[in-house]
Amino acid sequence: MTYHQKILSLANQIPMTLVDFDSERKRGRAPTQAFSEFLTNREQGDWAERLVLRAINETSKNYIAIQYGKSDNLVAGDEGFVEFYESYQDELDEIGKRPDILVFKKEFYKSEWGYDISQLPMEQLNKIVPNAIAGLEIRSSSFLIEKYAKVIKQRTFEAKRGALQIRDELLNDYQDVFSTGNRAKWLDVLNSLTEDNLSIISFKVPGWRSSIRLSEANSKLKQLKLFVNEIQKRDFLSITPKVEDIKVVYKWVETYNVPHYYFQVFFDKVYGMSYEKILKLICDSDREGSDYFIEGNDAKNQNKTTIKINSKLGKEVAYKVEMPEHKSEMRELGRGRLLFYVTFKGGRAYLNISNLLSLLDIREEEF
């Protein structure tokens, strides 16, 4: 079975309500103006790509990483941007979404490529790309993942402790409130609360106000609800494929039959996950709400519906990232409009070789 055939088998198991592989892709509309946040995000993404590319090329003796994704510097408002954008939409329909980086065995590399084949004509790329052993989609995140995990773990611990304390106060001090009428059902709710089920329990605060005791109990239930809401928030940083990208990545895999991977670059570590594993995860509806979430109108991803997968379900492919230098830059657009944004330079990723090779299915002696 070819790689594409394995991916096709998984794609056929994904509900059409999430990704409809048979429907015509809706073309994007060219934005009319750029913003500072967009330029900063693009600069950060470009830095993350350089970081991964450099780490592989400085470490491997037999493999080489090459820039493949579109790298034009045009933004909305620049002359020629609309034509560039429409050409990109045509390409998505023709071959799918290019990954940012391709990894080749060095025997296929030609020095005239200069570590960048993104601008080569399609006729030439169609001969080069199938020789790649992996395509890497690089995503960046403005977080330190280890610090985030530590803070969230403490936050959840404190919320659970607070919730159980209020549960006990309600059961011990407000028996009179819950002993009669419809309010008696709250005894069952409160007695059923445990540390393990606080992450899934659901209830609505009643809004009692007709006596001091009822008002006090209602306030306690409101505090309990706040703690429960805190516990039930997504508690991990994620690898973040957009739902619409699942479809155009499939198109690229169909075109070239090259294994595809997502790398999420944080400012302290890098995690990787195969496109194949992403499809397996979203085929399993039982894991939604724990190992992954589907969030619509995600502001951090162009307000697109995004799949948020726990990064630590992937492999830690870089155990350390050195912080880059960063500085402010200015760009003047048409009509004299100025945009100020942040650029990133330097930094270094230290690869976890065994995890990287396991992810990309490369033998250690070959690398």
Per-domain boundaries in the chain? 3-143+238-366, 146-231
Is residue 301 predicted with pLDDT exceeding 60?
Answer: no
Q: What is the pLDDT of residue 324?
A: 97
Predicted confidence (pLDDT) per residue in 322-357, tens digit: 999 999 999 888 778 888 999 999 999 999 999 999
Question: What span, in angstroms and rounded, lies between the C-alpha atoms of 226 and 229?
Answer: 5
Give the long-range contacts of residues 192-200, CB within 8 A, separation 24 or more.
193/163, 193/164, 193/167, 195/160, 195/164, 198/160, 198/163, 198/164, 198/227, 198/228, 198/231, 198/232, 199/231, 199/232, 200/232
Is residue 302 predicted with pLDDT exceeding 80?
Answer: no
Q: Which residues of 224-314 form beta strands (DSSP E)? A: 238-239, 260-265, 270-274, 292-298, 304-310
Q: Which residue has the tokens 């944080």?
A: 266
Is residue 38 predicted with pLDDT exceeding 70?
Answer: yes
Nearest-CA neighbor of 110 among 71, 60, 66?
66
Q: Is 3-143+238-366 assigned to CATH 3.40.1350.10?
A: yes
The predicted model scores a pTM of 0.90
Q: What are the start-end ranges of the H helices in 179-235?
A: 185-192, 212-231
Residue 104, φ and ψ in degrees, nearest 5: -125, 155
Picking from 101-110, 223-232, 294-303, which range would have the lowest pLDDT averaged per residue?
A: 294-303
Looking at residue 346, the DSSP 8-state letter turns out to be -
Average pLDDT, the chain: 92
Is residue 60 predicted with pLDDT exceeding 60?
Answer: yes
